[in-house]
Amino acid sequence: MASHSKNFFSRYFGLINQAISEVDPELLERIISNVEDTKKNYGKVILVGNGGSAAMASHVSVDLTKVSGVRAINFNEADLLTCFANDYGYENWVQKAIEFYADANDLLIFISSSGESLNIINGAVKARELGLSVVTLSGFSPDNPLRKLGDVNLWCDSKSYNLVEMSHHVWLLAIVDFIAERRLS
């Protein structure tokens, strides 16, 4: 058992390290620039995801605000989500929330492991229609629909939910920490 677990964890952590390291640093720098421009223009960052990606959106929005001094929100309030899903359909709740909450200088960050969640795609389409800046994080297929909708698109080359979500989380928190470090220097 000990040999099996050692091999599993060694392989697993190697896959996570590889996935995280494959991001193009220039894309991270573009996102940092978008976040800083949003702050400079008195906008806010809105992060949206489903499931684990929603939890990540919550974590990152709080850290952007508290650690990096960038106003950020997410749409994880149960009453908002269930009301909008009930009234407009689950596939439309994100786009309706954007219509109600987004302002002209906002940056939208859409997180979807598969890049195929219809509510997230419809939200990104609405953000584009409103002329807002859009960042996407996805995985699985390199030609997933969400990946085609952003000004900047981060993609993780994996079909494993956990590897994709861990990569997205690390990339976003690296952005938070970079902005925080620059802010303190």
**Distance of alpha carbon 109 from alpha carbon 30, whole angstroms:** 13
pLDDT at 1: 62
Global pTM value: 0.96
DSSP secondary structure code for residue 185 in this structure? -
Q: Which domain holds residue 169?
A: 2-184
C-alpha to C-alpha distance for 123 and 110, rounded to whole angstroms: 8
- Read off the CATH number of the domain in which 17 is found: 3.40.50.10490
Stretches in the chain below the pLDDT threshold 70: 1
| 8 Å CB contact between 104 and 98 | no
**Distance (Å, whole) CA 111 – CA 82:** 19
Instruction: Tell me 159's DSSP state.
Output: S
The confidence score (pLDDT) of residue 39 equals: 97
Whole-number pLDDT of residue 145: 98
Residues 32/174, Cβ–Cβ less than 8 Å: no
Total domains in the chain come to 1
**Per-chain mean pLDDT for the chain:** 96
pLDDT tens column, 54-73: 999 999 999 999 999 999 99
